[in-house]
Structure 1
Amino acid sequence: MTGFVSKVFSKILRFINRGHQRSVKAKKNIIASFLIKGISILIGFYMVPLTIGYVQKEQYGIWLTISSVVAWFAFLDIGLGHGLRNKLSEAIAKGEWKKAKIYVSTTYVILGIIFLLIFALFFVVEPWLNWQTILNTQSVEQGELRLVAITTFLFFCVNFVLRLIDSIFYAFQRPAFKGFINLMSNVLTLSIIIILTHTTEGNLLYLALTLGISPMVVLFAVSLFMFNSEFKSIAPSIKYVKRSYFNDLISLGVRFFLVNISVVIIFATDNMIITQLFGPSEVPAYSIAHKYFGLITVGFSFILVPMWSAYTEAYVKNDIDWVLSVVNKLKKAWMVLVVIAIILLAISKPFFKLWVPEIDVPWLLSVMMCIYVIVLSWGNIFVNFVNGVGKIRLQMIVGIIGTIVNIPLSYFFGEILGLGSAGVIGASIVSIAYGPVLAPIQFKKIIKGTASGIWNS
């Protein structure tokens, strides 16, 4: 038995260490990400019923809605996170370490200023907002909702700046480190919620504080450690902040910024739309289905995420054969993913009853969510490459169109046709047409060198 295990282990090691250095690094990160994220997913699944038990169903729906609304402000980074990822990847590929340090320093300072101003503006405007109307609820007092909203927004701003360390890990083709940060945040969050359930009554503000403080502590500690060790050569410094490099970052960042706006509106408005059309009590069912079938996109992202910066490096070095080889393997992986998605759909009903018996997830919602993750994953194979090489103008334009039609379609499918929350996700499927339809065409054009005009900008 020991000999058999040893042989299997040896074959796994040979597989991991076989191939191009870029592929070897990607495989190591993919495996590490699966292990780390697997634990995070288990924690996340356990945390949902625990959290619902602590604050009850409607309050949990309220917090989900507030956090999704706050997430809309992610686009106000004007694409600097993605811009840093691509520009830093290029600098690393060329060995330009001083330029890399300038990019990192400039991005931290600019993003810090942006989110400081955003929070100041929010603090001024917030007293004029009626949160009970916005969230369509009377079960929680306006004063408590205000505190929850301010707390959630404050930690969002701080954590968004701290999360630039994720872009740096991506640029170094080490996405597993981001997974480690999320795992540590989830462990700390779970620990605090367990303590709260035993020491306090359900409190929405305590939940908001917990879900804000936990990632902040972990992100700050990891950033401090990395910038004083392995990333010391590119650690942010005021001396290396250069306005001229900001133009370099912003030219690419603005395009990512517009893409992010469309992504945020298409993906993050679903909770708000459901709240307004059907009430906050319907949000948990949508969230449960999204988390369950999201296992597909999360699992596939383990493979895709390391490739973004790897594509950047390969494109800079004109290594087209490697790109084609990777994309062909990803297509095969997607076919396996489709089978897994169908299996998850088949067992979804009994699984939901076992996992969260107090939440009824409609069968139609499960079917639409299954279709959604399959379509999204297919498109992401090609979108990832397009993002990596920075040819995102077409994606930007189609994304804006998708943004415009998403909310009217959600209303039409959900309310007029009576499909409920399933209609809302149906609108999202239509709105993400760029990925599954146009991105494969653009990919072929870029690879063959025939891309021109909007396809190559």
Structure 2
Amino acid sequence: MKLKNYYRKVKAIFQKGNDLTTQQGRASEREKRIILTSLAAAVSQVLSMAVPLITVRVSLNYMGSEIYGLWMAVTTFFALFTFADLGLGNGLQTELSRLMGKKNFLSNARVLVSSSYVMLLSIAMVILAIFFIAFPMVNWGEVVNAQSKNTAELSRQVVLAIFIPKIIGIPISLIRRNQAALQEGFISYVWQIIANILSVISIYIVVILDMGVITLILVSSIIPLIVTIFNTFQYYLKRHPELTPKIKHFDFQKSVYMFRLSIGFFIISILNTIGLNIDNYIVARIANLESVTTFSIASRATQLINVACTIISSPLWAANGEALARGDYFWVAKTTRKMSLISMGITMMSSIIMLISGPTLFEIWLGYDINISFRLLAGLLLMQILLAFISPYFMVLNGAGKVKIQIYVFLIYSLFSTTLKFIFGYCLGIESIPYIGSLCYAIIVIFPVYYTVRKICSNNKYEEGLSKNV
């Protein structure tokens, strides 16, 4: 019966336009956009994971193992430039979503969007200038440890084919944050779906026509960039011409404010990466590289479970920012609680399935049996359940621009968990590492974040909405 009522509610949301002057109308509009974005994100994520699986065989056969390894090594190395925007994308998404709930949206949004683009364009130009100065001085064959003369000669071209599109993409990719902030993330995901499809088609065309290894790598790097450029022009020229970035809308003071906010998100990203992804290094130090292989495979497999939770939680960031700015606190509290339970429920069910059928799944995936203990797998899955529970609450902090609390909890968590993982890993073995991480995460991260969100939502409007729905 509850499922039937929920279906009717969702159907009603999509059948009619929502009156944005009322609290209920705004709530319905947010829920509609969350559903659209989640569905588009799910399709995009499936394609993103499928593309490497579809193309790896043809690419590997065409390139050979050494050149393919060169491609993957360079790609992995320059993936570090994901942080090159210094958190400005996150800052724009937070501030722009909060502006949606205010009357002077358009004038401030123009300044915010234009200032963000100018700053990121400047960062990209500086990085490119440094790169082109240093490029001739570096022996790229030695950097990537090329084994043959042919691979060493190709390494310079491979670096150029991967690095330049990635840096140009720093300011270009800002469109995704803009769309996410305006609760139109589904548009961004549709373009990503198009990019994935075109990438597969292009790779096969290059291989069939024997257009060369460098062409294959360049096509793989440049297709997503070209699609994002099309997305940018279509969005600003057709859908939101009033927000088109212009130099005249650049504001230095707003840029300084945005930079300060963005640095906070930048620090959070680094701390989060260290705190949650340092386990392989710890295992290598206290055990051996063979143990790292087992641990990393199990860790990557369990992290796949969290993809669905990310899809559910991500659209809440912008929706929460707009709702909090309007004072719709009850909707934020209710939606966060609901999404947290849904996310945790999906993760728990997936975890049970993986625990029961883990050895069989790993053997099918890898093609051979690998000895991953039940205790290690259970510990890694426990961490994913905790992440699934708290993820929607982090979207409230992001929407509210609460950066300091996140920096504090992740800094303390990274220091304590890393230290304790080393100590207990030596004493009890590597199977204890995920349990120590989960315990530290629950105490140091989950409790402060949960109660901070409750405090944000605890005001007159929230209590009034709560009393009416009891």
Alignment of 1:341-420 (within 5 A): 341-355=351-365, 357=367, 362=372, 367=378, 369-402=380-413, 419=430
For the Cα contact (< 8 Å) 1:49–1:355, is it kept in 2? no
2:12 to 14, 23, 32: 14
Deviation at 1:169, TM superposition (A): 0.9
Alignment of 1:157-176 (within 5 A): 157-176=167-186
- Please state if 1:439 is matched with 2:441: no
For the Cα contact (< 8 Å) 1:93–1:313, is it kept in 2? yes
Deviation at 1:34, TM superposition (A): 4.3
Match of 2:322 in 1: 313
**Matched-pair identity in %:** 24
- Please state if 1:121 is matched with 2:125: no
Bigger radius of gyration, 1 or 2?
2
CA 50–309 in structure 1, closer or farther in 2 if over 3 Å, else same: closer
Distance 1:166 1:206 in 2: 27
TM-score, normalised to structure 2, is: 0.77
Q: Give secondary structure in 2 for the equivalent of 1:20.
A: helix
Distance 2:138 2:328 in 1: 53
For the Cα contact (< 8 Å) 1:378–1:435, is it kept in 2? no
Q: Which amino acid aligns with 1:89?
A: S
Distance 1:60 1:356 in 2: 19
2:80 to 66, 72, 83: 72
Match of 1:453 in 2: none
For the Cα contact (< 8 Å) 1:82–1:256, is it kept in 2? yes
Distance 1:274 1:66 in 2: 25
Q: Give secondary structure in 2 for the equivalent of 1:94.
A: coil
Alignment of 1:135-146 (within 5 A): 138=147, 141-146=151-156
Distance 2:194 2:167 in 1: 20
Match of 1:238 in 2: 247
Distance 2:317 2:158 in 1: 36
TM-score, normalised to structure 1, is: 0.79
CA 443–366 in structure 1, closer or farther in 2 if over 3 Å, else same: same
Post-superposition Cα deviations, 1:38-97, rounded to whole Å, max 9, x if no partner, equal 433443443333343222777666655543432333333232112111222232221320
Distance 1:241 1:132 in 2: 42
- Please state if 1:327 is matched with 2:336: yes
Deviation at 1:334, TM superposition (A): 2.7
Match of 1:95 in 2: 103
Distance 2:412 2:398 in 1: 19
RMSD: 4.3
Match of 1:227 in 2: 236
Distance 1:127 1:289 in 2: 39
Distance 1:273 1:133 in 2: 27
Distance 2:202 2:423 in 1: 41
Deviation at 1:186, TM superposition (A): 1.1
Q: Which stretch has the larger CA shift, 177-186 or 440-449?
A: 440-449
2:193 to 178, 183, 197: 183
Deviation at 1:266, TM superposition (A): 4.7
Deviation at 1:438, TM superposition (A): 2.7
Distance 2:170 2:337 in 1: 35
1:82 to 85, 90, 102: 90
Distance 1:310 1:95 in 2: 17
Match of 2:468 in 1: none
Deviation at 1:101, TM superposition (A): 0.7
Distance 1:88 1:446 in 2: 19
Q: Which amino acid aligns with 1:160?
A: I
Distance 2:237 2:97 in 1: 20
For the Cα contact (< 8 Å) 1:69–1:272, is it kept in 2? no
Q: Which amino acid aligns with 1:50?
A: I
Distance 2:159 2:282 in 1: 18
- Counting matched residue pairs gives 441
CA 438–149 in structure 1, closer or farther in 2 if over 3 Å, else same: farther
**Which ranges of structure 1 fall in alignment gaps of 5 or more residues?**
1-6, 451-457
Deviation at 1:136, TM superposition (A): 6.8
Deviation at 1:293, TM superposition (A): 4.2
Q: Give secondary structure in 2 for the equivalent of 1:229.
A: helix
Match of 2:33 in 1: 29
For the Cα contact (< 8 Å) 2:96–2:181, is it kept in 1? yes
1:47 to 43, 47, 51: 51
For the Cα contact (< 8 Å) 1:26–1:306, is it kept in 2? no
Distance 2:156 2:189 in 1: 32
Q: Which stretch has the larger CA shift, 174-183 or 117-126?
A: 117-126
Q: Which stretch has the larger CA shift, 68-77 or 408-417?
A: 408-417
Deviation at 1:191, TM superposition (A): 1.4
For the Cα contact (< 8 Å) 1:188–1:214, is it kept in 2? yes
1:336 to 332, 342, 345: 345
Distance 1:162 1:402 in 2: 34
Q: Which amino acid aligns with 1:379?
A: I
Deviation at 1:31, TM superposition (A): 3.3
Q: Which stretch has the larger CA shift, 205-214 or 374-383?
A: 205-214
Q: Give secondary structure in 2 for the equivalent of 1:93.
A: coil
Q: Give secondary structure in 2 for the equivalent of 1:236.
A: coil
Distance 2:320 2:274 in 1: 27
For the Cα contact (< 8 Å) 2:236–2:243, is it kept in 1? yes
For the Cα contact (< 8 Å) 2:268–2:407, is it kept in 1? yes
Match of 1:3 in 2: none
For the Cα contact (< 8 Å) 1:60–1:284, is it kept in 2? no
CA 34–315 in structure 1, closer or farther in 2 if over 3 Å, else same: closer
Distance 2:197 2:134 in 1: 34
Q: Which amino acid aligns with 1:95?
A: K
Match of 2:465 in 1: none
